[in-house]
Structure 1
Amino acid sequence: MHAKIALLRERGAVDVLDRLTTRRIAEQSGRRLGLRPGISLPEHYPDGLRALYEISDCPTFGDLDFHPANNFRPRQPIDAFGEIARPGDFIEIGRAGAEYILLDLDTGSASIYDYLYFRHNMDSGFVISCDSIPEFIDTVALGARYPDIHGPRKTWSTRWWRTDPWYKYLREVGMVPRLRPRS
């Protein structure tokens, strides 16, 4: 996580993404990359979240938009019947479009949770789950799992991530391997 974010800063990625993002995408989605100066979070937050915010306060990575710390709020994942989907002490730390980025304060695990998960024929609203914030940043925000943030790729009629400036940039700088053409 530290090395990848340092590389983005070194390459001037914020300015590059601003130039690559079309006006239409910017109007729909806002800024594609935001790396504000870091801050210190209180000790009661898990180490991974504190480490991320020390690097960058409320960062944005494509469609992943982390909240300022004063906007973290309790958010319990529920299933289609309104029952608690997974016990834990969850807070919402950001959004992935209409989906929530949830942090389990008990375990430090980070997830994207979609309350409308049934639209993707999923058994659970946990679209993506990682054991920690650093894993989430490395594999999802700055990695190959980014196209799954809005539900499984197979459920999309178009491959939206192929035209997403953030995902294209990740491929360009080698954080996501380029797909080989089929023979």
Structure 2
Amino acid sequence: MKWCLALLVALLPLAAQSGWIDPSGKPIPDSDNMRSAEDFGIQIVLTANEGQFRQTWNSSTPPPKLTTTNTVRLGETVSALLIFHGCAPNVGGVCDVVSDFILEGPDGSKMTAGGGPVWSGKPMQQRLLQLGQASMTVGFDKTDPVGDYKVTATVKDKVSGRVLSVTARLKVTK
């Protein structure tokens, strides 16, 4: 997960208008946690401290050193955040991107885990990534099973009609 974040940081100034690209301009293939459709791209990241992640993201010192995780212990929480580029503005010049989160347990059971607006404002400058407004935070207590979980976000750009689903894997331990 941390190598993926390092790649993301390297891509901050290089988000493409046609999917994700690496620093040399070559396309990056879609993966479970990072997808694109034309100029619309979504990535899901997990962090143990959403507030610190957002503060670091918004700091003026590039590139930010963002902390992500793919494990959480019983008694702790984890947040899923969405990073995106390329939303389509409506006739008023405003994007309308929304998400729904689903948490899948080790036994395959699925539960809705919230959602809301990812972005409802003017599009960001070309070639820049935006941290979405929506997030999902889930806590695990001693009654929850340990094991492998999945967090899925289905993200829709309501103006363009494009829909992308991204998944992050999470290991819950004792």
Structure-1-length-normalised TM-score: 0.25
Higher relative contact order (Cα pairs below 8 Å, separated by 6+ residues): 2
Which has the larger share of helix? 1
Which has the larger share of strand? 2
